[in-house]
Structure formats: structure tokens, C-alpha cells
Amino acid sequence: MKFQDFKGGVHPPQSKNTMECATIKMDIPEKVVLPMQQHIGAPCKAVVKKGDTVKVGQVIGTSDAYVSVPVHSSVSGTVTAVTERIISGSRPVVCVEIKPDGLQEISEDVKAPVVESKESFLKAIRDSGLTGLGGAGFPAHVKLNPPKDLAIDTLIINGAECEPYITSDYRVCMENTENIIEGIDYVLQWTGIPRALIGIEDNKPEAIKKLKSAVKKTKSISVHSLKTRYPQGAEKMLIKTLTGREVPPGKLPSEVGCLVMNVASVAFVAEYLKTGMPLIKKRVTVDGSSVKTPMNLEVLIGTPVGDVFEFSGGFASEPVKIIMGGPMMGVSLYSDELPVMKYTNALLALNEKDGKIPEENVCIRCGRCVSVCPMNLLPFDIDRLVKANQYDDLDKYNVTDCIECGSCAYVCPSKRMLTQSLRLGKDILRRKEKK
């Protein structure tokens, strides 16, 4: 089955320097900081207070809201503070700080869940604390329970990993192959979806080979090699490439009968259902021009970013920018004290040459942003309207369709901050609708 690829996209330098770096387990840090919101949806309430002792896997934050997942302690130790902090964005989030005792005692609550129905499966997934590990952080149990009237016929497993630098999903494919297949089997079994398609970019031939041989016996799972082109791993692009279907504006993949999960997410599902150990650690690629030794690390969630860099061997040169995630869509951090979160898949430190913000010049109407936009938008026009405060015309330009992949700003010869304008435009429209 071959479909026409999505339109547009870019080819940034891949910089996959860590492909052959087997994952190394990082030491327990001196403190962990666990934000009560590491997912899209309602924030959790901290259920521990200063002075409490906690164990590994113990629930420290919960919420009654449906679109929310609990937060677990990644260490055993003592709670030293429950305070508000600005993590990313501008809103403060309650964070639980824990001083580890180094023993890593496992909580009594950690035991393999009993799953015998779709309901108990979804409950187990929620209890595991799983959010989409691809980067967006959407609660997995919500995703796995689409509206009843939409028949889902395809589970898509995202192993595209189209962002430069990042190889953590690749390492999952290489080191955790069995768990990926097992996890897919569980999801297919309990959701009743008949087939799963694994999509991997063709710059990772070893992973494709390994997964292909692993699914030989299973009829319902197939592995597909995708053209290496950013943003191949964006949900809507991946669905288009693998099934030929286009998710309508403002809708979720379930609208076209698809459900998309990341390889790391399904591998975690298998692990959790076997052991009951919730989401407390994450594979993270450490790289960037300021990093001395690029590598892949298994990091406890809540570990301060600075500690991760230090463990990797520190900086070769003083970084001017630290990015959580990839260089195309990641978030630049204002401090290296911010913690690794559930959805963190890479930490990059860039030197002055790579990290400085280029000067913005006038638009020369070259049309590159239009030809690379995978969502068929006109970024230069939206940028013009946003900068001129002409918000009334914005909705005619479908700005809410923007997936913020960054291709337009990447390719702009005038270095205009197009993606920023598009984000701003989306935000302005959303606020206008609320009014």
C-alpha cells in the first residue's frame, strides 16, 4: 500500500550523532522536581506535603478530571518543598521537590495491574501516568478511548523521529523491540482495532529491519519505511503518508479512523502491564554544539536539566541556549534547573553560533514558506496580519490549522519568526472565540 506523501516539508541537517549510543542509566540526582502538570489537561493536586517520605512509584499528585493523569515519585526520599514554579510558558505550576535517599525503595502500590476488559485496561493506562511520549503530552487513556460513534480501524505507531538530533525513539526500537510489539498487541487486544502500522523514517534502516523481523509472525502489525522529510512524524502528516487520509481541520485522528501512538508509549504500556511500575523514567538524547559527549541517557523524571548535562560529561563550551525537545519544535528553557518531564525526549545545549537568534529582515516574497507548509497555509500573509494587528482577517487564513512544525521559519531567507507569528495568531483567535 503506497500513498502520496504529505506536501511540503524541509530537510534540516539530521545531526543524529547519537544513533549508535546505547542508552546509559543515569545516577539518582541530588533532588528531583516533579511538576503537577506534565500533560495536556487539568493539573494534578499534590497529595504529599513537606516532610513526607515517599517511595518509588508512589502517587504524589492526582486529579479527578478525566483529561489528566497522576504524577508518581521517581525516587524514594523526603519531600522538601511543594511550591509553585514557572516551568514553561508563563503560568506557574505546583511542583513537588524530593530529596532522594538513594535507596530507591519501591512503593507497595507498584504491582502489575489486573486487566480483563477495556475499562480496566483504560484505568490501568491512566494509573500508569502515561501521556503521549512523542512530545505533546496528551493523556494516553483519553486517546485510547475515542468517541463511540467513530470506528477506529488503524493504530499508527509513530517511530518517524523526524526531528534533528533526537535518537531516543530509535534506541527504544533497537533496545526494546519486544516491548513495542507486546505493547501494540495489548492496545489492539483491548481497543479492538484490527491493524497497526509502524512508520519509521528511512534514515533508520536498522530499526526498520529489526521491527520487520519482529512482526513476521503477526499479521495485524506491519512496518513501513517513510521518506526522511521533516515533519514526517507530525500526527497529521504520518496519517496522510500511511493511510492517504487527511484529518479534517480542528478534528482529531479518530475522525478518520486512526489512533496514533509513539513507539516509546507502546513500549511503556507493555512494561507497565507486566510490572506495574508507572512512568518515572525517560530515555533522553543529550546533544547539541555545546555538549562534550552526545549520548542517550535513561533519566528519572524530575531530574534537573543541568544535572543531566553534567552527568553526560558537561559542556565543551558555554551554552547560550538550552532546548527541551528537538530544535524544530522544542522549548527553549530559561534555566538549567528545570526538570526532565514525561514528554522530554531530548536535551540540547547550543553554543553561540547555533543558538543565537538571527536578525529579522523584510519579507522578499520568495514563497518558500508557502511551498514548505505541510498544512497549506500562507505563513508570510499571516505574519503580516499579526504584525500589523489586523486580527479580524486572521480567521480567513486558517491559522488554527497550523501544527507549529517550524518549517516556514526554518526555510525563511529573511529569518522571519513566522512560526511565532502563527502561534500568536492562533492564540489571538482562540481568545476571541472565548469572548
Partner 1 sequence: MENMLYVNSSPHIRSEVTTQRLMLDVIIALIPAAFAGIYFFGFRAALLIAVTVISSVGFEYLIRKVLKRNNTIGDLSAAVTGFILALNLPPELPFWMAIVGSFFAIVIVKQLFGGLGYNFLNPALAARAFLIVSYGARMTTWTRPFTTAADIDSVSLATAADIDAVSFATPLGALKEGSNLPELMDMFLGNIGGSLGETSALALIIGGIYLIARSVISWHIPVIYIGTVGLLAWIMGPNGIFTGNPLFHILAGGLMLGAIFMATDYTTSPMTKKGTIIYAIGCGVLTMLFRLYTNMPEGVSYAILLMNVSVPMIDRCTKPARFGGKAHV
Residue with Cβ nearer partner 1 (183 or 406) = 406
Please state, as a whole number, how many other Cβ atoms lie within 10 Å of the Cβ of residue 427.
12
For the chain, the first-to-last Cα distance in angstroms comes to 46
Question: CB 300 → partner 1: shortest distance, Å?
Answer: 21
Question: CB 111 → partner 1: shortest distance, Å?
Answer: 40
Instruction: Report helix, strand or coil for 409.
Output: helix
Residue with Cβ nearer partner 1 (19 or 320) = 320
Map 186-234 to HEC letters. Answer: HHHHHHCCCEEEEEEECCCHHHHHHHHHHCCCCCCEEEEEECCCECCCC
Question: CB 54 → partner 1: shortest distance, Å?
Answer: 29
Residue with Cβ nearer partner 1 (164 or 183) = 164
Give the C-alpha separation, 424 to 426, whole Å.
5
Instruction: Report the candidate in 110, 126, 124 with the shortest Cα–Cα distance to residue 55.
Output: 110
Residue with Cβ nearer partner 1 (23 or 407) = 407
Is there a cis peptide before residue 231, judged by omega within 30 degrees of 0?
A: yes
CB 408 within 8 A of CB 419: yes
Residue with Cβ nearer partner 1 (114 or 362) = 362
Question: CB 325 → partner 1: shortest distance, Å?
Answer: 8
Please state, as a whole number, how many other Cβ atoms lie within 10 Å of the Cβ of residue 5.
15
Instruction: Report the candidate in 138, 217, 142 with the shortest Cα–Cα distance to residue 181.
Output: 217
Residue with Cβ nearer partner 1 (112 or 364) = 364
Question: CB 143 → partner 1: shortest distance, Å?
Answer: 19
CB 87 within 8 A of CB 36: no
Question: CB 339 → partner 1: shortest distance, Å?
Answer: 15
Give the C-alpha separation, 225 to 201, whole Å.
6
Residue with Cβ nearer partner 1 (146 or 325) = 325
Question: CB 343 → partner 1: shortest distance, Å?
Answer: 14
